[in-house]
């Protein structure tokens, strides 16, 4: 009769502790107005990328030579490009490509980096040395140059851009997870679990991986901004999306030839890239402050 009561008393503080952690995170995040605005903008971008293409005023790929390079007006809110295509419709359509590349490339890099980081930190020894030296080699190259080299070898396409960005994202996630794994592996309760006969996979996925979630969420948010900027840069150079795909970097590349004649062709795709990247950056900064237990703001 006494033992169940003890277990019940122990379970209540744990639930309260988890609930309190979430409340503390929410209070800190809510106080950061910039981060809240960034989160709202990203939610709107995702929503627009899903439903926006069904409600655009014009076909993003429809060519109209008689309406080319028209300035912004009530008919064409952002004007038209050199083929007479509606820029507003193309930006809305291109948002889905941009966000897809950003999320999918970071997701791939996150999965691979997390696995490598956990294996490296948990098993240590030669395994750790080999994996970390490989990560050091990748980190020796600037991200955009490494992505440029990979896309140059594989060929220009959105799929290869995703692969290239995922590759240079892996070392960052691997190092974060390795550091968290090394810290958790030394705790006494991990030794106790091992003594009870728990398998390595159970220890890794049930006790170590959850401790890496917070820094991974922050890093993933910041890396998405870098991924979007890199993907746009590769498309600007002609190594990403191919015409007539309405990808923002490719649209910006088309508009550079008309900067004096029709600056709106380059201005609106460029501003779309800037706004999305800033939104992800300020959200990432807000998440980092909210997850930081030492932060009092």
Q: What is the 3-state secondary structure (H, E, C) of 74-118?
A: CCCCCCECCCCCEHHHHHHHHHHHHHHHHHHHHHHHHHHHHHHHH
Would residue 18 count as lying in a domain?
A: no
Q: Which domain, by its residues, includes 32?
A: 25-291
pTM: 0.85
pLDDT tops 70 at residue 50: yes
Would residue 68 count as lying in a domain?
A: yes
What pLDDT shows up at residue 196?
Answer: 77
pLDDT average, residue stretch 35-48: 93
With tokens 């064409």, the residue in question is 76
pLDDT average, residue stretch 160-179: 92
What pLDDT shows up at residue 114?
Answer: 93
**Selected residue with higher pLDDT from 249 and 6:** 249
Would residue 61 count as lying in a domain?
A: yes
What pLDDT shows up at residue 294?
Answer: 57
pLDDT tops 50 at residue 8: no
Burial classification of residue 281, based on how many CB atoms lie within 10 Å of its CB (0-12 exposed, 13-18 middle, 19 or more buried): middle
What pLDDT shows up at residue 200?
Answer: 75
How many C-beta neighbours within 10 Å does residue 288 have?
A: 18
Helices marked H in 124-261 — which ranges?
A: 125-139, 143-154, 158-185, 188-195, 200-202, 213-236, 248-255
Would residue 100 count as lying in a domain?
A: yes
Q: 32: left (phi > 0), else alpha (psi -120 to 50), else beta?
A: beta
Would residue 297 count as lying in a domain?
A: no
What pLDDT shows up at residue 31?
Answer: 85
Query: Which of 73-82, 199-208, 264-273, 280-289 is least confident?
Result: 199-208
Number of domains in the chain: 1
Would residue 69 count as lying in a domain?
A: yes
Q: What share of the chain is helix, strand, coil (3-state, %, to 5)?
A: 80, 0, 20
pLDDT tops 60 at residue 96: yes
pLDDT average, residue stretch 246-265: 89
Residues contacting residue 170 through CB under 8 Å, at least 6 positions apart: 109, 112, 113, 116, 135, 138
CATH code assigned at 134: 1.10.3720.10
Q: What percent of the chain has pLDDT over 70?
A: 91
Written as six digits, the tokens of 268 are: 């609106």
Would residue 233 count as lying in a domain?
A: yes
Would residue 278 count as lying in a domain?
A: yes
From 112, 103, 280, 113, select the one nearest 180 (Cα to Cα): 113
């Amino acid at each position: 009769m006494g033992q169940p009561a003890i277990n019940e008393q122990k379970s209540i503080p744990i639930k309260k502790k988890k609930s309190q952690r979430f409340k503390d995170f929410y209070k800190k995040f809510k106080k950061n107005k910039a981060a809240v605005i960034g989160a709202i903008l990203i939610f709107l971008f995702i929503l627009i990328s899903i439903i926006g293409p069904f409600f655009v005023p014009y076909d993003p790929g429809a060519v109209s030579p008689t309406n080319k390079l028209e300035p912004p007006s009530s008919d064409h809110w952002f004007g038209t490009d050199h083929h007479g295509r509606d820029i507003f419709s193309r930006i809305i359509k291109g948002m889905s490509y941009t966000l897809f590349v950003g999320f999918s490339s970071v997701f791939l890099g996150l999965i691979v980096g997390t696995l490598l980081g956990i294996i490296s930190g948990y098993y240590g020894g030669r395994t750790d040395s080999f994996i970390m030296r490989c990560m050091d080699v990748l980190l020796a190259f600037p991200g955009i140059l490494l992505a440029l080299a990979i896309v140059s070898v594989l060929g220009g396409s959105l799929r290869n851009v995703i692969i290239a960005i995922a590759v240079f994202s892996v070392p960052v996630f691997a190092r974060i997870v390795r550091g968290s794994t090394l810290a958790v592996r030394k705790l006494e309760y991990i030794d106790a679990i091992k003594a009870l006969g728990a398998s390595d996979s159970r220890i890794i996925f049930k006790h170590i991986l959850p401790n890496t979630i917070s820094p991974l969420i922050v890093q993933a948010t910041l890396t998405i901004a870098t991924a979007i900027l890199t993907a746009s840069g590769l498309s600007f150079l002609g190594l990403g999306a191919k015409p007539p795909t309405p990808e923002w970097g490719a649209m910006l590349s088309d508009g550079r030839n008309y900067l004096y004649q029709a600056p709106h062709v380059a201005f609106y795709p460029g501003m779309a890239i800037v706004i999305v990247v800033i939104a992800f950056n300020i959200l990432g900064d807000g998440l980092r402050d909210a997850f930081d237990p030492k932060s009092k703001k």
